[in-house]
Amino acid sequence: MEKSKSFLLLCIICAFCLIIFPKSLEGTSLTYNVAANERACFYAWADKPGEKVAFYFAVQTGGSFDIDYIVTDPRGKHVISGDRERQGDYVFTANYVGEYSFCFSNDMSTFAEKLVDFEISIENEPRAELPPSKGITPDQTSSMEESCLRLSSSLSTVSRTQKYFRTRENRNFSTVKSTENRIFWFAILESAVIVGMAAVQVFVIKTFFNTTKRGHV
């Protein structure tokens, strides 16, 4: 019973510390419609060397669901880049203080717009120490910290999985919508061809009988 009370008290202390001493994290989650032949850039600032930069993107709709991207550091050097990628999930270390640019290019498309869902986050998370508490041993504290870290990793995995399924759902919906439009216009064209052929047949038959009557006369 005493262990359960100590564990519950430790959970309360951890939650309190997370609220009072939040981790240093800056993030941006956006959805942007990249027009044809457009180059769109977004920026994030790293305050000090060694910060972790997470970059995630996924093309939701448009064309073949692919886009060119490039990440540049404050010196103008390329950190990561790719051509005709559908989605990406990268983490790299910001070795220099300054502004990092994240650019999407839709130069390969002449008319198709690309809807891109992306997220940029810069994180520098020092491991906080819990204040000492009566009845809680250092081993229990360490075990609780490891459990919290595993839980955080699991939640991050769940979040990535949800984004993946969201991307698949949007792409499948776009494919179904495109297929429906193609079937609709094909049916319209087929109906127009049938009507046109019927009109031609009527005209040919009418012309044939008119010629026959004139021959008998």
The 3 state secondary structure assigned to 24-87 is EEEEEEEEEEECCCCEEEEEEEECCCCEEEEEEEEEEECCCCCEEEEEECCCCCEEEEEEEECE
Q: Let me know whether 156 and 204 are in one domain.
A: yes
The identity of residue 205, as a single letter, is I
Q: Which of these three, 94, 125, 156, is where a domain ends?
A: 125
43 and 115 share a domain?
A: yes
The neighbouring-strand residues paired with 56 are 89, 119
**33 and 97 co-located in one domain:** yes
Is 61 in contact with 115 (CB distance < 8 Å)?
yes
Q: Is residue 214 in some structural domain? A: no
Residue with tokens 């692919």: 66
Confirm whether 179 is domain-assigned: yes
Beta bridge partners of 94: 51
52, 108: one domain? yes
**Residues 37 and 116 reside in one and the same domain:** yes
Residues found in the chain: 217
Residue 80 sits in the same domain as residue 165: no
Same domain, 120 and 135: no
Residue 31's domain spans which residues?
Answer: 24-125
Q: Is residue 216 part of a domain?
A: no
CA 154 from centroid of its chain's CA atoms = 19
CA gap 112, 67 in Å, rounded: 11
Residue 169 lies in a domain: yes
Same structural domain for residues 136 and 108?
no
Of the pLDDT bands very low, low, confident and very high (cuts 50, 70, 90), residue 133 is low
pTM: 0.59
pLDDT at 106: 92
Number of domains within the chain: 2
High-pLDDT (> 70) share of the chain, %: 74
Q: Is residue 54 situated within a structural domain?
A: yes
pLDDT score for 17: 47
Question: Does some domain include residue 8?
Answer: yes
- pLDDT (tens digit per residue) in 138-194: 555 677 777 777 787 677 778 777 777 877 787 788 778 888 888 999 999 999 999
Question: Can you give the CATH number for the domain in which 113 is found?
Answer: 2.60.120.680
Domain identity same for 77 and 145: no
Q: Are residues 8 and 45 in the same domain?
A: no
The domain boundary residue, chosen from 125, 147, 176: 125
What amino acid is encoded at 189 in this protein? L
Final residue belonging to a domain, choices 125, 141, 164? 125
Using CA atoms, how far apart are residues 143 and 197, in angstroms rounded to an integer?
Answer: 80
| Radius of gyration from C-alpha coordinates of the chain | 31
Residue 102: is its pLDDT beyond 80?
Answer: yes
Contact between 160 and 119 (Cβ < 8 Å): no
Do residue 63 and residue 36 come from a single domain?
Answer: yes
Bridge partner list, 114: 34
Residue 127 reports pLDDT greater than 50: no
On whether residue 178 sits in a domain, the answer given is: yes
Helices (H) then strands (E): counts for the chain: 2, 8
Residue 1 lies in a domain: yes
Lowest pLDDT segment from 20-34, 48-62, 79-93 = 20-34
Q: Are 117 and 35 in the same domain?
A: yes
Residue found under tokens 């986050």: 121
